[in-house]
Amino acid sequence: MALITLRRNLCHLSDFRIHGALAALKNHPVIHVHKVAEERLCPWFCSPQSEPFKVRFHHGCCKKFHSENGNDLHPVGEQVFSQAHDWDRPEQNLKSVDDQMFYRRLNNFTSSEEVLSFISTLQTLPDTLAAGALQRICEVEKKDGDQKLPKEILKNSVFQALCIRCEQESSSLPDAVLVTALHALTLLHVDPQSSLLLNLVAECQRRLKRGGLEVHSLCILGESLIQLQGPGCATLELIIYQLQGEKLEEFTPEDIVALYRILQACTEKVDQHQAFLNKLNNFSLSIVYSLSPTLMSQMISALVVLDQTQALPLVIKLGKYAVRHIPHFTNEELRKVLEAFIYFGHSDRFFTKALEQHVASVCLTLDPEVVSKVMEYCSRKQILSKPILDAVAETFVCQSEKFLPHQISELIEPFGKLNYLPPNASALFRKLENMLLTHFNYFPPKTLLKILHSCSLIECHPVNFMAKIFSPCFLQKLQGEELYLDKLSLAQLTQLFLTSVLECPFYKGQKLLPKYQVRSFLTPCSSLETPLDFQLYRSVKIGLIDLLGARLYFASKVLTPYCYTIAFSTAGTWQCGRIQNRRRRRRTGA
């Protein structure tokens, strides 16, 4: 196995081609040593003005690099060449690195500087561990969500030498090391046209065509090519074809989820791979119990993107095991899980119970997007969860400035739909009213209408805003570029107008013009009225038939002059009572 020797790089530079590295270091200051290394390695990288910032590599001439002798870690940010050591002393032999110890220490680092400082203290480094170091740098950099590698990392001679080594020794790297290095450099946004990545990709393609790449290497390579060349590259099709020929029993859970991610990137070819997806969905039932929170979130998110509505058994099982992971999901992972359950129409009382406990305990630390998604989940599944609604109401009162207009709408709507007023309702709606008064023009018209309509459903009538939303100016904005207002908006406007007529007689402001009023709240896709409980409706209907003697003596779903729909007409029942009284008088001769 090729080794990276971490102590003889500078000797190959022209400035140090004299007898012995020690003499070179004695003749040149430490600052000059670092400057020479930077001048020789800097051309491998892009100009810092490129956006997004990417690394550009050309042909390298240096295969090795220096490192301090010893195992002590440098403080974060300390220069690699901080001291001049006598590397030629015979008592300082090369040290072998224990793999497990290496990865254990590597995983404890939280910054790229710490990783590179640790690498610089090692005498020798096998290729596998060098690729692992690149992977760890990728992980810690992606945690911050930044899309570019810091310039101080790019200029670090240890990082540069790792990259150069991967480029020049690509043909001798083991399969796992090769694909791991390619994946790490891809995620670090190295320029796809750089000589480094072109060499690595070419070597991967040669080995792929020869066959023999293991499942794990195929999965890593597939995801790397998606990042570099997009889902339409021909090599990706060959990877998927080879993966389909492997036995799923030999896949690890990580490989199964990676395969879902690869297929997720090829949504336009879902029909072509549907038979394999069905096989994959059935097999995945057996590994759900072993999935980590991250893998579970990624799998269920892929099922949404791939529109696997026929995989409901898998979704149900994922929901069952997601219960135990709720406290361990990140904000983004929890959002994806909730989004998937909304998409598939799935709900589970145990999941809801666990979600209640989690939201009630950490709601103030949740992202606004997650909070709004939790409320959307409760709204879509009509889950009247008082712990969730109370916690969300308190969060909005404390952190209202963090929420965007669409998130505020998704947060407020469930209160109206579920007809629930939280204990802090006065503070909640006072905060909402202040936000609307301050930022009225920043709210999209339809979003604003949804919020005000939801408030009216729980008798928090938005009297201060009715004149504005009934004005021709607002209605024109609401209509936008469409020829007509949609029926849902018209129904919401009509209900708000009826509220002002029936329940706010003191309101004397702008009225809604008749042409914007509708006669029914039933819309093609939904209804603004609370849906009937079918079992209760059926019980009442049977009872009335037994009481009155026939179905024709009463009416159901009666539309009143004020456009409200009544489940059963009391007028009809009163009329039936008059008919029965007449029959009774005739029989008695009265």
- Each residue of 140-179: pLDDT tens digit? 776 655 556 677 777 778 877 777 777 776 777 778 878 8
Cβ proximity of 409 and 436 under 8 Å:
no
Phi/psi-derived region of residue 77, left when phi > 0, alpha when psi is between -120 and 50, beta in every other case:
left
Q: What is the pLDDT of residue 516?
A: 86
DSSP string across 424-475: THHHHHHHHHHHHHHSGGGS-HHHHHHHHHHHHHTT---HHHHHHHTSHHHH
Q: What is the pLDDT of residue 427?
A: 93
135 falls in which pLDDT band (50, 70, 90)?
Answer: confident
**Contacts with 165 (C-beta within 8 Å, 6 or more apart), sequence order:** 4, 63, 64, 127, 130
530 falls in which pLDDT band (50, 70, 90)?
Answer: low
pLDDT tens sequence across 218-253: 998 999 889 888 888 888 888 999 998 888 998 999
Q: What is the pLDDT of residue 568?
A: 64
Count how many residues are written for the chain: 590
Q: What is the mean pLDDT of the chain?
A: 75
Residue 322 clears pLDDT 90, i.e. is over it: yes
32 falls in which pLDDT band (50, 70, 90)?
Answer: very low
Residue 384 clears pLDDT 70, i.e. is over it: yes
Residue 443 clears pLDDT 70, i.e. is over it: yes
Q: What is the pLDDT of residue 324?
A: 92
Tokens of 170: 């690509």
Q: What is the pLDDT of residue 297?
A: 95
**Contacts with 483 (C-beta within 8 Å, 6 or more apart), sequence order:** none
End-to-end alpha-carbon separation of the chain, Å? 114
Domain boundaries, the chain: 1-210, 534-588
Residue 101 clears pLDDT 70, i.e. is over it: yes
Q: What is the mean pLDDT of residues 105-117?
A: 82
pLDDT tens sequence across 6-28: 333 333 333 333 233 323 333 33
Residue 541 clears pLDDT 80, i.e. is over it: yes
Cβ proximity of 353 and 359 under 8 Å:
no
Phi/psi-derived region of residue 28, left when phi > 0, alpha when psi is between -120 and 50, beta in every other case:
beta
291 falls in which pLDDT band (50, 70, 90)?
Answer: very high
Q: What is the DSSP letter of 531?
A: P
Residue 371 clears pLDDT 80, i.e. is over it: yes
Q: What is the pLDDT of residue 532?
A: 65
Is the omega angle on the peptide bond into residue 52 within 30 degrees of 0, that is, cis? yes
